[in-house]
Structure formats: C-alpha cells, structure tokens
Structure 1
Amino acid sequence: MQTALVIGASGGMGYALVNELVNRNIQVKAFARNKEKLVALFQHHKNVEIISGDVFNEQLMMNASDGVDIIFHAVSFPYQDWDKYHMRCIDMVIKIAQRRGTKIALVDNIYAYGRQSTNPVIEQVRKEPQTKKGKIRLTMENKLKKSKVPSLIVHFPDLYGPNAENTILYETLKNVVQGKKANFVGNMQVKREFLYTVDGAKAMVELALRDDTYNQNWNVPAVHPIAGEELVEILREITGYQKGVRTVSQGMIRLFGIVSPSMKEIVEMLYLTEEPVILSGEKYEKEIGALPRTSYKVGLEETIAWMKKRA
C-alpha cells in the first residue's frame, strides 16, 4: 500500500487510522465534511493531504480516490439518519472503488451480530440482527461482498480514545474531565467491551497491508471485558475524580427520547448494555499474530490527556 483514502477521517476511528497509516509511512488522503476540524487534527502531520467535502459528491470522491490503493470507510452518521445515508454511502464507495480498481476496508460495529447466546462471538456465527440498525449494517456488509470489490469488514465493539466523541463512553469521560457529575449508560455491574481506537487502527491497518486477509470478516476485541464500576475506579485513580456517577437506565433514555430524536434511536441498542456481545479475537491471533492490547488505565490516561489538551 502506497496511498490510502480515509473517509470519515475527522471521527474517532478515522483519526486513529490516519495516524496509524502515517506511522507506517503511508501517504494518506484524509476526507471529511468539516475542513476546520480536519485542519485542526492533521495540519502538522506529514504525508497527509486534507480533502473536505460531501461524501455523496461523486466527482469529488473520484478526484479524492485518484492514485489510491485502498479506501478506509470510517464514515459515521447520527443514528436518526442511518436509514437515509448509510446505504447511499456504501453504494458510493463501492462505485468509486470499482471505477478506480481499489480495495475497501470497512469500519464496522457489532450490531449485525444481533443477540448472541454464546460469547465470545466468532466471525462465522450466524448473523440475525433484530434491530433496525443491525439490519442496516448487515445489508451494507452483504452489498460489499456481492460487489466483488476486494474488501475487509472489521468488527469493533464500543470505542473510546482521542477524538472519539461519538461514543457511548465519551459523555462519561467528558463530565469527569470537566469535574461535573458524570453519567454512565447501562448496568454498571455488567462486563462489556470498550476498545481503544489506537489498538483498533493498528489491527485494521495490519489486516489491510496483507493480501490474504481480504473478502473476509475480522473481529477485533478489546483488551478484556470490563464493568462500568471498574472503569469508574480507574478514572478516579487517574484523575482524582470524587463525584458520584449516575447510571442512565433504559427508562430514562426512553423519556429523553420523547424530545430528542438521537436519544429515541439509542433505545433499541440498549440490549447490548445488558446482553453484551463479546468478540473473539482467536481468528486474528491465529492468522495474523498478537492483537494490540493497551490496558484500560493507559488508554484512558492517553484519552483524557488528549481531551484536556483540546479543552
């Protein structure tokens, strides 16, 4: 790989992917709608070309993909806009990749797996999502596979990390950094996975650099599942935070959803806070090698330091 296009480069995983690619001396085109944010994130990075614009602008996407070996699809849309935009976006990326002869690496989540009775979940498990958003993600996956474009589909659990602001854990971290009473979404006794974006990007780029990893699904788990109360204790140790942390229940989010479209859309995914999908990294470790595994303490220290620097 000589040149990569990262669409959605201003988001949490997009930012991590750009940094990891640059660390491997790969030329990167960082694409997102918000030019001001792209400049703030990447203006001092060598080997990064900033391109701002609409991902649905076909001519702009064609220009951006000129000379590119692989397109990393890290675009995220607000929950309430998934129906409107996600399928259009994957169609556009496939069309551009077919015309340019490039590969596609799709940043995916765990929604398509649906409810699973057995953990950890392997890539070969049958996907039967019961939620609207899970069905959208599975449709995206199937479209990509039917396109015949060489592709990677990489499943990540919930994320946290520098610039990862559109995540379920971000609101907790933001209030801790600001010294305010924090909220935590879900049961604080249930162990769930939170993946450090830096680890996710390292694993995904490693997969993208190989020839025998394409036209497959790959799971990239977190270092280990962790309960909310354990995360809070780590945060207290790191920051000296003394305030209480309030559990945000499904009932509270349903109430907020009456006036907030985004909160209304969160409700259907809350089963994951009670019945978490825990990913198996066995395939990656067997075929690629050891997974990047930053401890929660180190990952949270680095994330909070980044947040304070940007405050």
Structure 2
Amino acid sequence: MTTRRILRRKTHAPRRSRGRTRRVRLGTTHHREHIAKQVHKDTILRRSDMFSRATAMVRLTPDPYGDFLNRVQVIVGDVMSLKVVVGAGPTGTAVARLLASSGERVRLVSRRGTAPNHPLIEAVASDATDAERLTDLTQGASALFNCAMPSYDRWPTDWPPLAEALLTAVEKTNADYIMLSNTYGYGRVSGPIPETQPIAPTTVKGRVRAQMWLDALTRVRVTEVRAGQYLGAGAASLYALAVAPLVLAGQPVSYPGNLDVAHSWSYTEDVARTLVAASEHDNAFGQAWHVPSTSDMSVRQLSERLADLAEAPAPNLTTMPDEEFERLCQTDSIMAETAEMRYLTDEPHVLDSTRTERELGVKPTPLDEVLTETIRTTSTPQP
C-alpha cells in the first residue's frame, strides 16, 4: 500500500456519531493522531505478512503532516526491522521469541538451523566462524545478538575465531552488537559486584571473555549483558545439570563447592529480556549490564526450596572432597575446565543489578516461578 493511498483513505470526513457530528480539521494535531492510530491498528492486523511488502508499502518524504509521517515511519520501521541472533541455545531461542513477539523479523543462526515455530523467525544453518557468510546474513539488520557458546572445554581455541567473525560482520554492516557474557572477566571480587566493576581476569577463560569485550569496545557499537549461574528450562549450569536432577529424584548430591555461600542465580528468560532491553536503549551501549537475579540463595537454600516445591525428600547434600573432584577432572574434560573457576562455587558471588533495573527497567522473575519451571522440565535419573 503506498503512502498516497494511506493518506487518501484516512483523511475522509469523520463518521457522524449519534446525536451530534464531531468535526476534525485536517492538519490539526488531533487529525494527525487519529490517522496515526488507525495506521497503527492496520499495521498490527497485517503484521504476519507485512515484512514481505516493506518496500512497496511506504516511502515517506517531507510533508505538511511532518509529525504524523514520522510516527508512521517509526511504526512501520519497528515492525519491519531485522535482528540477527547467533546461537539457538536456551537464551538465543528466548531472545528470538521475545523479538518476534514484538513484531521484529528475526534471523536465528546456528549450526543445526533450529528455531521456534513463529512466522517472523527464520532459521538458518550456518557456521558462524565464516565471517563472509555471517556478514551476508547480517546485511540489512539493525542489530546482531551474540548468544553463541562454544564447548566449555574449547574456549581458548574456539572463541577467538568466532568472536572475530562476529565483529567483522558487525563492522561491515553497521549493526548494533549485543553480547551475552558472564562474570569470569571480573576475577575474584570481595562483596557484591557492581556493573562498573573493572575487568581483572585471573583465569584462562576469564581472559578470553575479557578480551572479547575489550576488542568489541574499540571497534563497534556494543553493549554486554552478564549473567550469574543459570536456572530455568534448558539451563546449562553446574547446578541445573548436576544438582537439580538429583535433588528432585531424592538422591544424594556431592557438590564441588561451598553449600552455604550466596550466589546470584539468573533465569534464562530474564537473561533474554535484559539483552533485548539493552538493545533498545541508546545509553546501554559502551557499557555492561547485569541480569537481575531471581535469587541470591546458597546452594543448600535453593535446593531445599526446590525440593519443597516438588514435594521431594529433603535434600541430602555434601561437599565433594578434593580427591573426588580431582578424579573427575582426570576423566571429564568439561569438569576439568571448572577447576580454575572453583572460586565461583567456594566463595560468595553476588551481582548488583541496581543500574540495570533502574535504567533498563528489567525486574527479576520470582524464584518460585523459575523453580516450578525447573521441576516441570528437568529429567530425573533413575534410582
């Protein structure tokens, strides 16, 4: 539909209401708002197929209805814009769903080419380390979300080429860059960690994440969202994979860390909402943000609440002896990579998200809702 047809159809004389006629003068603020509201209504009704007719639908130029035309441009532009999400894990998939539900076109890129079933989400199977291919996939996009995650035991070798390909694609397309990260780059910190905490990594994986952030800051328009330990459906954290299933099954748990120190727990959907919120705020760029934590409970407290909600037996938790942990590290490459990060489970690790909540407007999901989802989606081992 052309702009001329939109204007001609919407500038007809107003309908007569019962009892009296309400006159609307052309060109007035009320008239422009009336037209903008109707165009917005039509836009929502056509959302499912609108992106395929973007070029033909509107080409707005300066006009006596200046403010109105700007509004139409924003309405149509918001619906028509393309976002690229790299990584189809739990967080990347959640980001894609959130964007699509708000009317954005989403291109979800992963090795497997999987995606939620939604008319505005396009699944693409591609190796994200192929900078040329990724650049082609990012052409025309206003933002690229990095939700990728190489295998935990291959970060030093697999992250650098992937990070470089992502940066190259963003540089060549001028897309905004929104990175998902963690707290490894901070190193060991005493007390709650504010979002202004300087980067000071003390581990190999911490230096990998820190370098990714510093490289991006010097080359593109970027913001980074940092999460704690993950909870929720599909969460790939030590607790979600190795503790929750045993607690729900009523089996003993040997935990490689201190059971009674505070930890920040990040719900997957809250991580996605923080990424999307950061992408929509100009003041978010050039800075890092913390996902508001659903809880700062200890592992013991969290497990007791999980068992209580599931009506499971009281958790039987013990601290894993160092000898047992070392044997596990010798036989499991993923577990071996947790050795240098033991301070995260042995010491308190709490994120302060005050600035995120105040400036981005993101609030944490209540813990019981997160644990209820965890109960519903966790597979428990057989006795």
Q: How does 1:272-283 map to 2 (within 5 A)?
A: 272-283=344-355
In 2, Cα distance between the equivalents of 1:174 and 1:26?
36
Asked if 1:33 corresponds to 2:111, the answer is yes
Residue in structure 2 matched with residue 3 of structure 1 by the alignment? 82
- Structure number with the higher strand fraction is 1
Partner AA of 2:273 in structure 1: K
Residue in structure 2 matched with residue 102 of structure 1 by the alignment? 175
Residue in structure 2 matched with residue 235 of structure 1 by the alignment? 306
Percent of aligned pairs with the same residue? 24
Partner AA of 1:93 in structure 2: L
Residue in structure 2 matched with residue 270 of structure 1 by the alignment? 342
Partner AA of 1:229 in structure 2: R
Residue in structure 1 matched with residue 237 of structure 2 by the alignment? 167
Partner AA of 2:166 in structure 1: V
Is the CA contact 1:155–1:218 (under 8 Å) kept in the aligned structure 2?
Answer: yes
Which of the pair has more CA radius of gyration? 2
Is the CA contact 2:258–2:347 (under 8 Å) kept in the aligned structure 1?
Answer: no
Asked if 1:129 corresponds to 2:201, the answer is yes
Shift, 1:181, TM fit: 4.5
Of stretches 246-255 and 57-66 in structure 1, the one that deviates more from structure 2 is 246-255
In 1, Cα distance between the equivalents of 2:126 and 2:352?
37
- Structure 1 pair 58/306, CA: closer, same or farther in 2 (3 Å)? same
Residue in structure 2 matched with residue 153 of structure 1 by the alignment? 224
Shift, 1:182, TM fit: 4.5
Asked if 1:221 corresponds to 2:275, the answer is no
Deviation >3 Å, runs of 4+: 174-185, 243-248
Give per-residue Cα distances to partners, 1:69-112, cap 9 Å, x unaligned: 11110111222201101111111111001111111100010000
Asked if 1:23 corresponds to 2:101, the answer is yes
Give per-residue Cα distances to partners, 1:156-187, cap 9 Å, x unaligned: 111122222x2112222334456654454422
In 2, Cα distance between the equivalents of 1:45 and 1:263?
36
- Structure 1 pair 70/277, CA: closer, same or farther in 2 (3 Å)? same
In 1, Cα distance between the equivalents of 2:279 and 2:137?
19
In 2, Cα distance between the equivalents of 1:77 and 1:248?
29
In 2, Cα distance between the equivalents of 1:175 and 1:224?
20
Asked if 1:13 corresponds to 2:86, the answer is no
For this pair of structures, how many residues does the alignment match? Answer: 298
Partner AA of 2:157 in structure 1: K
In 1, Cα distance between the equivalents of 2:248 and 2:132?
42
Partner AA of 2:151 in structure 1: P
Residue in structure 1 matched with residue 149 of structure 2 by the alignment? 76
- Structure 1 pair 82/301, CA: closer, same or farther in 2 (3 Å)? same
Give per-residue Cα distances to partners, 1:51-85, cap 9 Å, x unaligned: 11211123331232132111110111222201101
- What's the secondary structure of 1:192's corresponding residue? coil
- Structure 1 pair 185/222, CA: closer, same or farther in 2 (3 Å)? farther
Of stretches 277-286 and 186-195 in structure 1, the one that deviates more from structure 2 is 277-286
Partner AA of 1:73 in structure 2: N
Of stretches 44-53 and 264-273 in structure 1, the one that deviates more from structure 2 is 44-53
Residue in structure 2 matched with residue 196 of structure 1 by the alignment? 267
Structure 1 residue runs of 5 or longer lacking an equivalent are: none
Is the CA contact 1:32–1:52 (under 8 Å) kept in the aligned structure 2?
Answer: yes
Structure 2 residue runs of 5 or longer lacking an equivalent are: 1-77
Shift, 1:150, TM fit: 0.8
- What's the secondary structure of 2:338's corresponding residue? helix
Give per-residue Cα distances to partners, 1:184-211, cap 9 Å, x unaligned: 4422211111111111211221111122
Relative contact order higher in (CA < 8 Å, ≥ 6 apart):
1
Residue in structure 1 matched with residue 131 of structure 2 by the alignment? 58
